[in-house]
Amino acid sequence: MSSHDAFRTSAPRALRDPDVLRKRLRAVRTEPAVRPLNDWVEKLRGRLGDGEAVPWFDPACGGVGARSLFLLEAPGQKSMGAEVELRRTGSGIISVDNDDQTAQNCWTLRAEAGLPYHESVHWNVVPWYLGSADRIAAPGRTEIQRAAPFLHEVIAMLPALEVVVPMGRKAQAGWAAYLERYAPRVHTLPTWHPSPRVFASRPTARQEILQTLREAARLLDAT
């Protein structure tokens, strides 16, 4: 059995199970595919200093072998661990298996589109948590511009990358800020943020995201 088979899940929100979460956290620094990325996370935490936390890359994802990158705006509360003083702490991992509705939407849409999680990475244009213990904050232009070099460092560790999917306006702004400085040879497929708020306010958003993910699958299948 491959290491990815060991992390494979059959339904969303798997990380709400403490045993599953403990297993995943034990692997963040040992799983070969994500070890370089999580070594980088540990160093970035030191570079940013106290008061700013960056969650781990998910051992279940494709890591440095990923062919696709899904970008959201910034870590949510359910991705943050106990090192961040939040009233509601989460897994400490950026994962489609997190116990929140946005992660569940990502998990379900990926499954419908036929996009294997173990071939991709989910990340954020701003890698550190924004907001207070009570409420997450959206990144502004300053944070987006500041984060562009860090996103470049991540992408430099993804030599097989072919497709980038920025999800939501903030992620698209962050990706645009990145493109102002760098020129990766990838396909860009922008789409809506997969949050329940977007789905409630835009009835067509879910289907449009699904169409985008199916296009990503088509591009990856064609190469």
Rounded-to-integer distance, Cα 156 and Cα 152, Å? 6
Which has the higher per-residue pLDDT, 95 or 78? 95
Structural domains of the chain ordered from first start: 13-221 (3.40.470.10)
Give whole-number Cα distances, 198 to 78, 139, 168, 213, in Å.
18, 17, 9, 17
* Both tokens assigned to 71: 């970008």
Question: What number of other Cβ atoms are within 10 A of residue 223's Cβ?
Answer: 8
pTM, two decimal places = 0.91
pLDDT higher than threshold 70 for residue 175: yes
Question: Each residue of 47-70: pLDDT tens digit?
Answer: 988 556 899 999 999 999 999 999
Question: Each residue of 176-206: pLDDT tens digit?
Answer: 989 988 988 899 999 999 999 999 999 999 9
Give the chain's largest Cα–Cα span. Answer: 46
Rounded-to-integer distance, Cα 35 and Cα 30, Å? 6
Contact between 187 and 219 under an 8 Å Cβ cutoff? The reply is yes
Question: Each residue of 87-103: pLDDT tens digit?
Answer: 346 799 999 999 999 99
